[in-house]
Structures are given as C-alpha cells and as structure tokens.
Structure 1
Amino acid sequence: MNFKLLMFYHSALFLISMAFNSGPWHFLMLTAAQLFFVPLALLLVTNKENFFYRHYFFIAPPALLAVCLLQITGSTKWDGVLAFLYLLYTLLVAWTGLQRFLHRGFSDLEEFALDVAMIFLAIGGAWFFAYEAGLETGFSPIITWLTGIHFHYSAFLLPVFVGFLGRSTKTRVYKIACTLILINPVVLAFGITFSRWLEFFSVLLYIFAIYSLIYLTFKTPFFSSWQKWLVRLSFGSLGITILFSLLYAYGNAFGANSANIGFMLQFHGFFNAVGFALCGFIGWAVHPPSPNAIKKGFPVSGIRGRQTVGQQLVTDYTDPTKTYACLVDDMAAYGPAINLKTLPFVIRDFYENTDRYRLFAEVQWHAWFKPFAGIFRLLSRHMQQLNLPLSNKQIEMTGSITALDQAADGRTHPRAWLRKIDEEVVFVALYSIHQTKDRAYMNVALPLPGSSMIGILELEQQDEKLLLTSCGDAASDAGIYLTVSRYLFKLPLGERFLLEEMHSGCLRAIHEMRIFSLPFLTINYVIEPKDESKG
C-alpha cells in the first residue's frame, strides 16, 4: 500500500470538499479530520494483521465519498443516509480497535491508547450522524456538531499521537499523562451534560496532561530533527489552545463572558486543526515509531470451567495413572532466580511436599472494595471458584493435589490444588511450569465458566524470603491474563506472594492483590507442618 499516493488522494478529496463547500467554513475543520487526518493516521496505527488495513479499499472510500458529498451538496434528504455510511465506517474502526485490545489487554499503555482512540472514533461518528440526520440529542445542533469534532480531535488524534510518543518513552510522567488523556473525554462529556464545575475540572486535567506531554517531547529521542520539532510544535499548539478551552469552561462555570463558541471556532478550532493536527500528523508520518509490544507465546491451560467449577472439574480431568503430593516437583527448576543453598529448607519443602502442610488464612478485603467483594461473593459461591469469605477471621484451608490429564490441559505435568474452607470449595488452581528463554515461570490457571484466569508468576529470592509476583518488565511473561476462546487478554491485576520462615518448620506468607495498582485484597497465611500441629 503506497502511503504517499494515498496522502495525495486524501488531500485531493479534502481540497475538492473545501473548493465546493456549501456550508459554514468551520465545518471544514471536521471534514479535514474525516477525509485526511483520521484515515491516514489509522494506516499508521494498523498493519497487515488488522481487518481495517486489509480491507481499507472496501471500507474507507464509500464513507469518505459520503462525507465529501455532504460538504458539496448542502442540505438534502439524503444527508442521514450519507452520514450513516460514515457511522458504519467508524464502527468498523472501533471493532478493529477492540480486536487489538482483546488480543493484548492492558499490557502496553501506549498501545491501549491507540485502541481507545479507535473505539472513541465511533462515538464521534455517532454524534456526526445525529447532527446530519437532525436527531434530538438534548443539545443544540452546534453543540452536537462540536461534540462530534471533539471526538475526532481530542478523543482520536490526541490519543494516537500520545500512543506514538509512548512507543519512545515510558516514564512515570508519561503513564500519568496518558491515563488522564484517555479518561478525560468521558469526564468532559459528563461535565458538559451534568455539571459545569466538572467540565472546568476536566479542562484542568487536560492542561496538566498536555503540559506534561510537552515536557516529554523535550526528553524523548526522535528519528530526525524534522520529526522532533513538528511533534513539539503539535503538542505546543495544543498547550496554547487548551488555554482557550479553560477560558470557555471558566465562563460556563462562573458566568463570565470570557470566551464564546464563535471565539472558540475561530481560534481554538483553527489552531487545533493546523498547529496540532497537521504538524502532529506530518511529524509522526515522517517515521512512525514501531510498537514495542511483545506477543506472548507461553503455554495456556486448555481446561475451561462450566457454570460450576469446584470439585467436579477436578474429577472430570483427573489422570488416574499419576499422583502428585506437591505443587512443584523440584524447586531447582526455577534456578538461577533462587539459590537453594541459601533459601530456607522449609520454603522449598512446602512446594515439594505441599500435602504435608496445613494452611491458616486471614482474608482482608480493603474497605473501598468490600461492596464489590460482597456482590462477587454471591457469584463465587455458586461458581465454587475464587470463593473467599468476607470475614477476616482466621480459618483453616484444607486441600488436596490431583494429577490432571496432560493432553486435555496442554501444559507439562499439570496438577490441581483444590482448597476448601470446611466443605466449601474456595480455589481450584491448576499448576504447571514453563520456561521462556532462560527463565522459568510458575504457570497457574484458575478455570472460570467458559474461560480461565491465568497467573504467570516470576520467582525471586530476597535474602531468605521467596517472592512470587505477576509484575515483571515488558519482556517478561509475568502477569495475570484472561483467556477466552482464541484471545489472551492481560488484566489490570497485580499479584504478590511473599513467603518467609517464622520459626523452625513454620512459614508466614502475605498474598497481596491489586487492580489498576490499587490494593483490594490481602491474605495472611500461616503454614505449619501437619505432624507438628498434631504433636
């Protein structure tokens, strides 16, 4: 696909629309996004594996010709039909973004920004359709149109440019700024609909994020001086125009006549289209940064749960020809991450002779998450999986380890560790091990109805303690994933399991869970040898 030739065609289509435009001049700012910036930016984002890229010449031309006709024909009875063609186009783009996301999940923030941009474009398409078809939205026609243009520039082009920047830098500042850019279109929409104060607050968030991005453009290496200065000019232009948005939001919140819609169209809109969008597009098109995301290829358990998991799943997949009494056959398999000479013997013995130990647990749900835990408890009791109590009282978890059918599971030497409180199933975890390059990972599957949650854990020795964690670097397999059908989706969850010897023969373990980096669950374990407890 010749990108330069496509740029020529899209430029010609926009120039035709501009030359024969029958509407107000400011309509051309949205037309520029629809005919030039958006479709060409999509070609920079997608590749031959994507549906949109492979079928571009079937998807894009009808929609873009429809937009062109809307600009040169004026108001006709066919406006709704033509706008609907463009809406279908944006829905197909959103579907492509969703597919990208489902194949990867939350593993790479910069790629997630590109996914969100593609999904948000459909919202812009819907508002454009509502305007052209004359649908009642609860807002004036100009506000409906402005919402459409907002979702083309601020909710599509801006996340795309931020995603490209993130392929070159992944600092903490970037992560914060990118997150704000992604959530703010929704915050701003709620503000416009329900609260002028929230609208004003959302603009302040935009200002913080945009000026953080401007700072990053001076810290990030670029392919060439041309690219460097065009990208800086793009974000710098946005840093100026966002101040117009602040004046407008301030006027709405405090009743001051600081900036009206006419002023916003003349200055804010024009500079966004030329300074931000055009400079940014050319800057990134000079040399689009390659994605850093690494496709995971580790083995995944093929066992899936039904509506009820529990004991029945273990029975269904038991291998009667084998028996296991441990989670790990030999901890030496995890070397060199651990040193068996300095690791306390009891930690090694717990994993290699798990059936010889008793587990006592205190489940601590964090206060902010308790309402969600109560709702989930209603489901988990029926499912007999992830079925943790709401009480923080110390209780004993009894367990048994069963060999599983390796052909059904698909991993090496799989085994199920079934844990109960009294006679109620709490966990059904399917254990295995896999190796990527020179590192071994604990590969744990928790079957769910029609799916499975996969925990890939790195082992790391910390003096005389052993840490199992799902938090690794970009090249690591570590993480918590959900597998459904052919999708392997990284979840925004983090897991940390720290074991240490309390006194001779006894262990203490702290199991921490986080969602979007927020702690929501802590389980404190005391692990004792069965013989010692009986004595």
Structure 2
Amino acid sequence: MSSLMPHLDRVSRTFWRATGRRVDLAGEHAWLDAPVHDGAVIGDAWLTSAATRWGGEARDDVEDAGLLPDLGVLDGPGFRADALHPHVRDFYEHTSRWRMEVWTQWAAAFQPGGELVSRLFGRRVQQLALPTRPLDVAYGMDSRVAVITDDTGAQRAAGWIRSLRSTGEYVYSGCYMSRELPGADRASVHVTFPLEAGNVQVFLRPTALPDGSLRLDSPQGDFGQDGAYVVVTGPQRNHAARAPIHERFHVYVDRWGVLRTDHELRMWSATAVRLHYKLTRIT
C-alpha cells in the first residue's frame, strides 16, 4: 500500500492541473504566491524555507506571538478591529497565550470520506488531518505559533502548528497573514497549508458583528474572490483552481465570559463537519 501513495499524490496533482487554470505567480496572480514544500511529509518542515524566501527567519521564541500582529490591517468597509471584543482581538494578536479544546461532529454522509482522506493523505503527510472521531480530540489540541520574519525583522507571516495532545500527530500546519485580493475593498485573512509542489489556500473575509464577535467566511464566488484554492506548482507552469470547500468561523465570548469558536466546513452547499473550540487564556 505504501508504494501506491506517491502515485496517488501525483494523480491528485494531475487532477487539479486539469481542472484548474494556468497562473502567473510572479505577476498577475501574485496574490496566490504562498509557501509550498519540497517533500512528501509536511509537519512544520516548511517554516524554514518560507522564511528564507522572504529573507528572514522562523522564530519560536517570540513571546505572545499572534497570527496577525495587528488586526487593524483588516480594517475597511464592514470591518473595524476596534469593534471586536478584547478577548477576540487578543486571541488573533497573541495566539500563543491561548490553549484550545476542540470537539468535532461529522455529517453521516461525509464521515467515511473524511476518514479515508485522513488515513490515505492527512496523517501520512502530516497536514490537513481533520479528526474524524470525537475521541481523537478527547485530550485536546496543542497549539504553537512560529513568527516568520522578513529581511527587516518584522513579522511577515505566522506559522500556526496544531497537533493532537494525545498522540503528537499534526492536524494543521498553516501560514497566516493578511492579503488583499484583486479589486477588493479591504484585506482578507489569508491561510496557506503547504503541500508537496503546491498548497491549499483559503481567503477569509472578516466581519465584525454587533456583539463584538468575529465572523470569517470563505464563500462561493468567482476566481479571484474569497474562497478556497488549490495551487499546483511546477518547473515551468503553475496551475490553480477554486475548490468547492466553504468555511465559516464565528469567534465569540459566551455569556460566562469564555472565548469560543464555531467552525463549519461545507462541501458545495452541504455541511460536512462542524468543529467547536473552547479557548482558554494561559495565565
């Protein structure tokens, strides 16, 4: 079985090339230029190469590191960082201060497929390994933030590495920054999950709700708008396609003052999995 895995990876990349379009990551489509990896196992191995391409370094020693150093970079029509509850803003600007617990619930029609993808792909490459059984996350999830700097020493992006506390297996390994899409009136949260010779990218549009909570959406739309993309790189040609994956995050403080997140992932218009996070500030 193990000898078939590299073949399956190549088939997957061929599929996305065939269904996508050619893109110029150094020109017209520079908004899709993001970290990739040169090996089959991802984990956190992409951090150093990502820092090198930006002329900086990946640092695990930054106290109170956050996914975004200042949520004000997202300000624009429909969003003001100052309107968020202080705990919501603190989580994104000082993510390493927070510990998380997570619960998952898959829709019955999608759970077998999620388990298959996790077994054949996610756990093997240590990336995008969504938990498919409630007991997988019974002991919680560990979270580590590495600041990726540019040649001036300023934060260019952040690597958010999440793993199962019970086994140490990687669940997500993402690169977080802000980026403005073509024709957009404000920046989106840009998350990249590096893969071998490519990546999965999600552009999330932020909205500040009247109760101080934050909503992040990757809706349906046209190429170049917020949503999910699969990028496949090559020595001569690069390809990208919109993926039929849509997400919504609602980050809020409940009536007891606890910071929580509801995360819904849909395939086309059908809900595939829901996740709930309880976030506790480390004192």
Same fold (TM over 0.5): yes
Deviations 1:211-238 (A, max 9, x none): xxxxxxxxxxxxxxxxxxxxxxxxxxxx
Aligned to 1:352: 93
SS at match of 1:380: helix
Q: Using a 3 Å threshold, how does the CA distance of structure 1 residues 368 and 405 change in structure 2: closer, same or farther? A: same
Corresponding residue to 1:418 among 155, 161, 168: 161
Aligned to 2:282: 530
Aligned to 2:75: 335
Deviations 1:76-110 (A, max 9, x none): xxxxxxxxxxxxxxxxxxxxxx97841189xxxxx
Distance in structure 1 (CA, Å) of the matches to 2:271 and 2:22: 23
Aligned to 2:267: 515
Q: Using a 3 Å threshold, how does the CA distance of structure 1 residues 296 and 458 change in structure 2: closer, same or farther? A: farther
| Deviation for aligned residue 1:503 | 4.4
- Which runs of structure 2 are paired with 1:75-90 in the superposition (5 Å)? none
Aligned to 1:467: 215
Aligned to 1:441: 188
Deviations 1:107-140 (A, max 9, x none): xxxxxxxxxxxxxxxxxxxxxxxxxxxxxxxxxx
Distance in structure 1 (CA, Å) of the matches to 2:149 and 2:230: 21
Aligned to 1:403: 147
CA contact (8 A) 1:363 1:392 kept: yes
Aligned to 2:239: 487
| Deviation for aligned residue 1:388 | 2.4
| Deviation for aligned residue 1:462 | 2.1
Identity among equivalent positions (%) equals 24
Distance in structure 2 (CA, Å) of the matches to 1:350 and 1:439: 21
- For structure 1, the 5+ residue unaligned runs are 1-97, 106-294
Corresponding residue to 1:103 among 10, 15, 21: 21
Distance in structure 2 (CA, Å) of the matches to 1:100 and 1:310: 27
Distance in structure 2 (CA, Å) of the matches to 1:504 and 1:104: 50
SS at match of 1:404: strand
- For structure 2, the 5+ residue unaligned runs are 1-15
CA contact (8 A) 1:296 1:477 kept: no
Aligned to 1:302: 35
SS at match of 2:91: helix
Q: Using a 3 Å threshold, how does the CA distance of structure 1 residues 424 and 413 change in structure 2: closer, same or farther? A: same
Partner amino acid, structure 1, of 2:36: I
| Deviation for aligned residue 1:334 | 1.2
SS at match of 1:355: helix
Partner amino acid, structure 2, of 1:386: L
Partner amino acid, structure 2, of 1:438: D
Rg comparison, structure with higher value: 1
SS at match of 2:45: helix
- Which runs of structure 2 are paired with 1:96-495 in the superposition (5 Å)? 101-103=19-21, 298-304=31-37, 306-318=39-51, 319-320=56-57, 324=62, 325-336=65-76, 337-378=78-119, 379-393=121-135, 394-404=138-148, 406=150, 413-422=156-165, 423-436=168-181, 437-464=184-211, 465-471=213-219, 474=222, 477-485=225-233, 486-495=238-247
CA contact (8 A) 1:300 1:454 kept: no
| Deviation for aligned residue 1:507 | 1.2
Q: Using a 3 Å threshold, how does the CA distance of structure 1 residues 517 and 433 change in structure 2: closer, same or farther? A: same
CA contact (8 A) 2:176 2:189 kept: yes
| Deviation for aligned residue 1:475 | 8.3
Partner amino acid, structure 2, of 1:103: R
| Deviation for aligned residue 1:390 | 2.2
Q: Which runs of 4+ in 1 moved over 6 A?
A: none
Q: Using a 3 Å threshold, how does the CA distance of structure 1 residues 302 and 355 change in structure 2: closer, same or farther? A: closer
Distance in structure 2 (CA, Å) of the matches to 1:494 and 1:439: 20
| Deviation for aligned residue 1:401 | 1.1
CA contact (8 A) 1:305 1:452 kept: no
Distance in structure 2 (CA, Å) of the matches to 1:299 and 1:405: 19
Q: Using a 3 Å threshold, how does the CA distance of structure 1 residues 472 and 331 change in structure 2: closer, same or farther? A: farther
Distance in structure 2 (CA, Å) of the matches to 1:515 and 1:441: 21
| Deviation for aligned residue 1:296 | 5.6
| Deviation for aligned residue 1:330 | 0.7
Distance in structure 1 (CA, Å) of the matches to 2:172 and 2:17: 31
Distance in structure 2 (CA, Å) of the matches to 1:504 and 1:526: 12
Aligned to 2:13: none
Q: Using a 3 Å threshold, how does the CA distance of structure 1 residues 357 and 371 change in structure 2: closer, same or farther? A: same
Distance in structure 2 (CA, Å) of the matches to 1:381 and 1:475: 30
Deviations 1:419-446 (A, max 9, x none): 1112111110001111244311111100
Distance in structure 2 (CA, Å) of the matches to 1:455 and 1:354: 19
User: What's the TM-score once normalised by structure 2's chain length?
Assistant: 0.76
SS at match of 1:428: strand
Distance in structure 2 (CA, Å) of the matches to 1:99 and 1:320: 32
Q: Using a 3 Å threshold, how does the CA distance of structure 1 residues 326 and 505 change in structure 2: closer, same or farther? A: farther
User: What's the TM-score once normalised by structure 1's chain length?
Assistant: 0.42
SS at match of 2:187: strand
Q: Using a 3 Å threshold, how does the CA distance of structure 1 residues 496 and 395 change in structure 2: closer, same or farther? A: farther
Deviations 1:177-236 (A, max 9, x none): xxxxxxxxxxxxxxxxxxxxxxxxxxxxxxxxxxxxxxxxxxxxxxxxxxxxxxxxxxxx
| Deviation for aligned residue 1:505 | 5.0
CA contact (8 A) 2:81 2:208 kept: no
Aligned to 1:84: none
